[in-house]
Structure 1
Amino acid sequence: MKTKVLILVISLFVFNSCRNKGTEVNENKAVQQTYTNPILDAGDEPWAIFHEGKYYYTQGCEDVIILWETTDITDLRNATRKTVWIPKDKSNALHLWGPEIHFIHNKWYIYFAADDGNMDNHQIYVIENESANPMEGEFEMKGRISTDKDNNWAIHASTFEHNSERYMIWCGWEKRRINTETQCIYIAKMKNPWTLSTERVMISKPEFEWERQWINPDGNKTAYPIFVNEAPQYFLSKNKDKVLIYYSASGKWTPYYCVGLLTADANSDLTDPASWKKHPSPVLAQYKEKHVFGPGSLSFIPSPDQKEWYTLYHARKIPNDATGAIGSQTPRLLKVEWDEDGLPRFATLDSLGTPLPLPSGITKIN
């Protein structure tokens, strides 16, 4: 009898041990299938491209351009990284804003804005690398992209191809700042990756109240009013019948920094301002309850298996940021859903540290 009781006790112990072990494995497995924001501990103006199974990521910096390479965009902290550009000319040595890497005609190009230390002298530059892998070889200066005859201030260049035409979109001044600064969105066709072929055309300027915020809730503000439309990004509707340009609006140093949207028919003349319609309200804005302030600087990437789309963006957990340019923002990842019209609908912004499902095609293995 004692032997039977002992066997029963041992059996129950083994059963419970296996059950607990199985639960532990499942819990670990669940952890492996999630990620949390931010995906890096510091950085703003996040941008990435997915090419031949790898993500190439970059972000704004003061005096260099750094490139990350990874198969898992949620694991940038462990990604291979390399400084791919150190300025050689004093005229473009500082405030390297909004770098973007693009693969065009089997060459790599990085577009960025820079100045000589005076931010009023910001201009757009492009560097080129002929290597198959942008982490190899050398980037060489291709030149400054002249955006208009008066060499107006210009930042945040992005390029895309649509209906066999290459375009550049960017943020610029209509005219030199005097007492008020107004940043607008421009578009032009390109002759090649470093030269415009048409005159610039303004397709958006700050007009709504949510695009013209420049004073923080605590009263902190810039020395003069700055009304902002910047960081334009191209995307397509789900059925590709509409061209979408997302842009950031209001002062980056405020919690009111947000994302606006311009739409145009896919077959329209994109260099005609009349082709573009501006949505009357932002599509992405602060979420006070979750402590997400100043979301902006969108870029779009697919999941590794191409089944899902995600947007990279930056935000911060405090309302005010006096530094503005390179401050307390962190890069984050957000899944894109689609509404009934085939336009992107962004998931709810979550607090930092909230577990989120990994992009489709990424598997974490301990």
Structure 2
Amino acid sequence: MKSMYKFAPLVAGISVVLGACAAAGSLSTPDRKEVATFTNPLLSSGPDPWVTQEGGVYYYTHTLGDRIGLWRTRDITDLNYVEYRTVWTPPAHGPNAHSIWAPELHRLNRKWYLYYSATASDFKDDAHRGVFVLENESIDPFQGKWVDRGRVNTARAGIDGTVFEHRGTLYFAYSPYLDAISGIALARLSDPWTIAGNEVVIAKADQPFEDQGGRQIMEGPEFLAGPDGQVFLTYSAGACWSDNYALGLLRADGSNLLSPTAWTKSPAPVLSSGNGVFATGHNGFFRSPDGREQWIVFHGNPEAKMGCTARRAPYLSRVRWTASGEPKIDQPSSPHTRIAKPGGTTQR
């Protein structure tokens, strides 16, 4: 029904134009290609959003709290009209029974992996939070069996695990609790769920923009490769219940990523509240269908003082690169403002 209502006015318009052209005899008009657009937010709810691309298909997920679900589409801007499936529900008891947060889907070694944060049953405190991994050997993540590979063997309790490959090495990054604050830790992996060697805290919350809502927080690290091979990690800064929740940026200089001195922190956020969107944080990166554009997905609130709830919604913004190779993220577009879809997106 959606397609019928969307295209019927277009067909009618074409008929009128063709009729006018016939009456005018030699009248002709140049071909025009309509620019496809979309509006933010993509959904009315979607905290901690994540996007993965594989074979021209986008897989999307976000925090649901009591399960992990996947959305599948070729048009990431149209999540209201795509296939959805719940792929995993937690056990009733155990270390990963509650508070299923921040899932991420990754394709590694021809298998699918889901990383997610969870809390042990009967606990709600930070000391009982960890990052866990599910594995699926199927080509299609909507099919096959998801095997519980347990908790990543981090040295500390923490949340928001992610993985990335750099120069042939698989790395794991997460946000450990460091007494009253949190930071970003990094380690090598011997397999997708096992840390090999020591993990290193590469950054701690120590900037004013990381001290919001009553807590000094760095969380949600995400990898971004620069245009000339640079290594960046974005992260969410401050407490998620603050309107000033924002994205910070770490940049690695040198090849030894496990050295804290290799990392430089930007002194100001790279994405913050604006245009009527508040608490911009927890993100992921993907490329446009034609591969030419870098994009970011993040969550935000369409009003102030909405807090850290399921009402946080997913937004998209374009990522551009400065002459010095630094990422520059477009400010969030105001709700209902139409912007161009990622390049190469097929119109419905």
What TM-score comes out, normalization by structure 1 length? 0.84
Q: 1:293 aligns with which of 268, 278, 281?
A: 278
1:269 aligned partner: 256
Q: CA deviation at 1:173?
A: 0.9
Counterpart Cα distance in 2 of 1:167 and 1:73: 27
In the TM superposition, what are the counterparts of 1:136-147 in structure 2 within 5 Å?
136-147=143-154
Alignment partners' CA distance in 1, 2:257 and 2:334? 37
In 2, the alpha carbon distance for the partners of 1:236 and 1:170 equals 18
Taking a change above 3 Å as real, the CA distance of residues 18 and 358 of structure 1, as seen in their structure-2 partners, is farther
Bigger shift: residues 339-348 or 305-314: 339-348
Give 1:137's aligned amino acid.
G
Q: Which SS does the other structure have where 1:254 is aligned?
A: coil
Distance in 2 (alpha carbons) for counterparts of 1:17 and 1:170: 65
Between the aligned partners of 2:125 and 2:138, the Cα distance in structure 1 is 32
SS in 2 for 1:77: helix
Unmatched runs of 5 consecutive residues or more in structure 2: 1-18
Give the SS at the match of 2:172.
strand
Partner of 1:341: 324
Distance, in Å, in 2 between the alignment partners of 1:347 and 1:271 is 30
* 3-state SS of paired residue (1:352): coil
Indicate the residue corresponding to 2:265 in structure 1.
278
Offset of 1:17 from its aligned partner? 11
Residue 153 of structure 1: how far off its partner (Å): 2.0
The number of aligned residues is 324
Partner of 1:212: 211
The answer on whether the counterparts of 2:102 and 2:160 sit within 8 Å (CA) in structure 1 is yes
Q: TM-score, normalised by structure 2?
A: 0.88
Are 1:254 and 1:319, in contact at CA under 8 Å, matched by a contact in 2?
no
Q: List gaps (5 residues or longer) in structure 1.
A: 1-13, 176-180, 215-224
1:350 and 1:105 mapped to 2: Cα distance? 37
State the one-letter code of the partner of 1:277.
Answer: T
Conservation of the 8 A alpha-carbon contact between 2:104 and 2:115 = yes
- Look at both structures and tell me which one has the larger radius of gyration over its CA atoms: 1
**Quick one: which amino acid aligns to residue 262 of structure 1?**
L
Equivalent residue in structure 1 for 2:295, among 283, 297, 310: 310
- Matching residue of 1:360: 343
| Cα shift at 1:183 | 1.4
Query: What CA distance in whole angstroms lies between the structure 1 residues aligned with 2:327 and 2:284?
Result: 13
Give the Cα separation in 2 of the matches to 1:17 and 1:227.
70
Letter aligned with residue 228 of structure 2: N
> Using the alignment, how far apart are the partners of 2:195 and 2:135 within structure 1?
16
Which residue pairs with 1:183 in the alignment? 182
| Equivalent in the alignment of 2:304 | 319
Q: What are the Cα deviations for residues 160-191 of structure 1, in whole angstroms up to 9, with x where unaligned?
A: 0101111000001124xxxxx31111001111
Q: Give the letter for the 2:222 counterpart.
A: Q
The whole-number CA distance in structure 2 between the counterparts of 1:309 and 1:320 is: 30
**Structure 1 residues 70-89: aligned runs within 5 Å:** 70-89=73-92
Distance 1:274 1:295 in 2: 28
The SS at the match of 1:270 is coil
**Match of 1:244?**
232
SS in structure 1 opposite 2:117? Answer: strand
Q: Partner of 1:195 in structure 2? A: 194
CA distance in 2, matches of 1:60, 1:119: 18
Residues 116-155 of structure 1: CA deviation (Å, up to 9, x unaligned): 241421111000000001011121101111201xxx3210
Check whether the contact 2:317–2:333 (CA below 8 A) recurs between aligned residues: no
- Residue number in structure 2 paired with 1:118: 124
Q: Which amino acid aligns with 2:302?
A: K
Match of 1:156 in 2: 160
For residue 363 of structure 1, report the CA deviation from its aligned partner.
Answer: 2.4
Would you say 1:108 and 2:112 are equivalent positions?
yes
1:329 to 1:107, Cα distance in 2 relative to 1, 3 A: same
Higher helix share: 1
Does the residue aligned with 2:78 lie in a helix, a strand or coil?
Answer: helix
Q: 1:305 to 1:208 in 2, by over 3 A?
A: same
Name the Cα RMSD after superposition: 2.2
The structure where strand makes up a greater share of residues is 2
* Equivalent position of 1:93 in the other structure: 97
User: Contact 1:205–1:229 (CA<8 Å) still a contact in 2?
Assistant: yes
The SS at the match of 1:299 is strand
3-state secondary structure, aligned to 1:274: helix
Corresponding position of 2:8: none
Aligned residue in 2 for 1:171: 175
**1:41 aligned onto 2:41:** no
What secondary structure sits across from 1:90 in the alignment?
Answer: coil
